[in-house]
Amino acid sequence: MNVLVTGGTGFVGSHITKALKQSGHHVRVLARSAQKAESVFKAIGVQVDEIMVGDVTDPVAVGRAIQGCDAVIHSAAMVSTAEKHAKEMRETNVGGTKLVIDGSLAAGIKKIIYVSSVSALFNVGDTMMNEDTPVSIAGSPYARTKIECEHYVRELQSRGAPVICTYPAGVVGAHDPSLSEPHFGIKLFVGVFTFTSSTGVQLVNVQDVANAHVSIIEHVEGPDRFILGGHYYSWAEMLEIVRRQTGRKLHSVYIPGKMLRLLGRCADVVIKITGKEFPFTGEGMTYASQWVYADSSKIENELGLQFVDREETLSEVIRWLYDTGHLSRRKAGKLALQ
């Protein structure tokens, strides 16, 4: 099958590309920089069939990339916590998504996957989120773009358009071209400040995300939706697993959820005043202290997806953070010796 992947130089997109190639598919990647694409794919040991240079906001580039494809996986997105990037994010995330999906539908493509996020379904107070959960009402610049895309895609699906949505939780694993937010959070937890609080965090191995998209491409006819939640870790469970894996006597501080959210709101003020990125945000601290479990039973039952073991995933992340210099040997503990 000839498959176009947008966002192929990103963490999720690059691993989806590799999984597609390993499954025998012909893969074309739309990327803004051929040099960056070649570097990313070399690092993970994959050679794509075609790299087309262009931006998802360029109708000509998108149309050229779609031509001759049997399937499209749209994973391109801009992520930022700064309000100053709101306009650019909307152009990329909303405008780009509409260009890619509308262009694919116009070209008669019957396999279209839009890579969303569980953040588009997260609503404080819910006991669980699944494929039927109402769209979120979160208000950060990034979340607003994902929510707008979600409404757009669901409207297409209601009319029978063959668009399939996937909703990964926090995606982690080795070979992240940049230090994405979940990896940054684990780096802080293991290497800087260990804490526990209410609820916890949900993480999914990037290999599971990649394999799920290959399985969907090969076996699912849209419209459809699939949660890719991986494993849920309470903060206390996360602490115990990290202690066991590293062999370190980690000391933690319990921070009430209300305090975490207050710190996040203060950080939002700093971001708004300075325009700089910040490791904590109001939205991030809401997730950290009021997380709603994302149920993956649909894809487990329908496609037989089995998620990588919860402890194996965490050890893989910590070893990768050590190997890439984000954690010291002392902080990685026993995992630095493996």
The predicted pLDDT at position 179 comes to: 87
- Judge if the upstream peptide bond of residue 182 is cis by omega within 30 degrees of 0: no
**Cα(321)–Cα(284) distance, rounded to whole angstroms?**
21
Q: Quickly count: other Cβ atoms within 10 Å of residue 312's Cβ.
A: 12
The predicted pLDDT at position 211 comes to: 98
* Rg of the chain, C-alpha, whole Å: 19
Give the Cα-Cα-Cα angle 174, 334, 193 (nearest 5 degrees): 75
Identify the structural domains of the chain with CATH numbers, from first to last. 2-171+203-230+294-307 (3.40.50.720)
Burial of 254 (0-12, 13-18, 19+ CB in 10 A): exposed
Q: Name the percent of the chain lying above pLDDT 70.
A: 97
Q: What is the pLDDT along the chain (338 residues), one digit of tens a residue?
A: 999 999 999 999 999 999 999 999 999 999 999 999 999 999 999 999 999 999 999 999 999 999 999 999 999 988 766 666 778 888 889 999 999 999 999 999 999 999 999 989 999 999 999 999 999 986 677 778 889 999 999 999 999 999 999 999 999 999 999 888 899 999 999 998 899 999 999 999 999 999 999 999 999 998 999 999 999 999 999 999 999 999 999 889 999 999 999 998 898 888 778 877 676 788 888 889 999 999 999 999 999 999 999 999 999 999 999 999 999 999 999 999 87
Look-up of token digits 């070399």: 42
Sheet holding 50-53, edge to edge: 50-53, 26-31, 2-6, 71-74, 111-115, 163-168, 224-228
**Cα(116)–Cα(122) distance, rounded to whole angstroms?**
12
Joined together, the tokens standing for residue 264 give: 């996040």
* Residue 316, helix vs strand vs coil: helix
- In the chain, how long is the greatest CA-to-CA distance? 58
The predicted pLDDT at position 82 comes to: 61
> Hey, which bits of the chain come out as E strands?
2-6, 26-31, 50-53, 71-74, 111-115, 128-129, 163-168, 170-172, 195-196, 200-205, 224-228, 231-234, 253-254, 293-294
The predicted pLDDT at position 168 comes to: 97
DSSP H helical ranges for 110-256: 141-158, 181-191, 206-219, 235-246
The predicted pLDDT at position 284 comes to: 85
- Write down the number of H helices and E strands in the chain: 14, 14
**Cα(13)–Cα(313) distance, rounded to whole angstroms?**
19
SS (H, E, C) 111-151: EEEEECCHHHCCCCCCCEECCCCCCCCCCCHHHHHHHHHHH
